[in-house]
Amino acid sequence: MNEIIEPAEEQFYPRITLRRAVTKAGEHSIYFASGVHLYALNAGDGALQWCLHISKRLVYKVGDLPPGSLISVPPSLDGVRGLAVRDTRVFVSTESGMAYAFSADTGALIWRRELFSFGGVPLVVGDALYVPGQTNIDALDTRDGSKRWKYATMNVVASPIVIENSTLYAGSYGNAVYALDTATGQPRWTYQTNGRVYNAPIVHNGVVYAGIGDDGCCLTAIDAQSGQLIWRNTPILDSGAQLLVINNLLYTSQRDKLVGIDIKNGRPLWHYPNMRGVSLLFSEHTLYVAATSGDLSAFEIPSHKLLWQRKLRALKSGGATHMQLLGDELYVGFNEYGRGHVGTLHAIDIQTGHEDWVAELDWFVESPAVS
């Protein structure tokens, strides 16, 4: 195939700053993508375990051009889009339309599959790998990459998908929320929206929540069984902010505020200022919030008392990855979109908020996953 899969050059290795090694976490690994590279680091101290370069080969030939030509060839769509980890394998999707399975221990290639569509963030459930894309959602067998089914969507599914009770839910830029049978790919229902789905769907107690709308994302509640609208509120959500339900409150960010919204009617009941485009994680009565400003905060739930807050990056135009939790260690990535594209991955002690180590790269950090 017209591709490159090889060990990355040393110049692309992450720059690690170690403040404290975490012994228990050292028994595990954290995986993430950055540009055309896939990384595996020791979760305890950030030490590099392996790194792969995964990309398409250049197909044009300079010799085909007239002598003396000065050209700048735009790069084709390329790079690792997302990953998922299950047992001893790392599953990867790429912007060039490929899916791969690698050994989590060594990075050795196990199988490859061409999807013919821009790959989104994959999801593993049981022995199936689900990959949303530009025009399709693909279901593959995790053992050998063989195709189980393919479902054609109206447009790109850019946000993560979710599976609940053997139903896959996906939001599309084609103005639709889909509910598909995970075994066959057949639609259970399709909810036509009045705009793109910018905030990834979640499912809680039989209700699908998503942020929808081209003129500002409105929180929408849909019956998970029937696909019928339950309610839709007017406050505008931050595009791309994560949604999370805890104790009948749906948390997300709205007009630069962290908000808690009543899941019965969509009305905001609580807010905390200066938080935009949030990534959220809940564990042991604590809500962890990563904001596009580069701040990481911890709130006690249900009191909403601020336990600690740390400035991990000073970002003017940035974003936070989804977070991962391993024991008392939290992992989150931050990216600077407007200046140098520097990405960082941070390992944080959740008891104190102190940073144990940080990895710095020259491109965005995406899809961290621990195993």
pLDDT tens, position by position, 317-347: 889 999 999 999 999 999 998 766 789 999 9
Instruction: State the pLDDT confidence band at 148, using cuts at 50, 70 and 90.
Output: very high
- Look over the chain and give the mean of its residue pLDDT values, rounded to a whole number: 91
Is residue 118 scored above 90 in pLDDT?
A: no
Output 324 or 154, whichever has higher pLDDT: 324
**Percent of residues, the chain, with pLDDT higher than 70:** 93
Residue 182 has pLDDT above 60, yes or no: yes
Q: Which pLDDT score is estimated for 308?
A: 98
What pLDDT, in 10s, does the model give residues 121-133? Answer: 999 999 999 999 8
Query: In sequence order, what are the residues at sequence separation of 6 or more whose Cβ sits closer than 8 angstroms to the Cβ of residue 11?
Result: none
Q: Rounded to an integer, what distance in angstroms lies between the CA atom of residue 208 and that of residue 162?
A: 10
Per-residue pLDDT tens digits for 28-67: 999 999 999 999 999 999 999 999 999 876 543 444 444 5
Mean pLDDT, range 65-77, rounded to an integer:
45
Query: Which CATH number is correct for 1-60+76-121+363-371, 3.40.30.10, 3.40.50.300, 2.40.10.480, 3.30.450.90?
Result: 2.40.10.480
pLDDT band at residue 238 under the 50/70/90 scheme: confident
CB 330 within 8 A of CB 348: yes
Segments making up each domain of the chain, as ranges: 1-60+76-121+363-371, 126-159+161-237
In this structure, whether the domain defined by 126-159+161-237 belongs to CATH 3.40.50.300 is answered with no
The per-residue pLDDT for range 99-111, each reduced to its tens digit, is 999 999 999 999 9
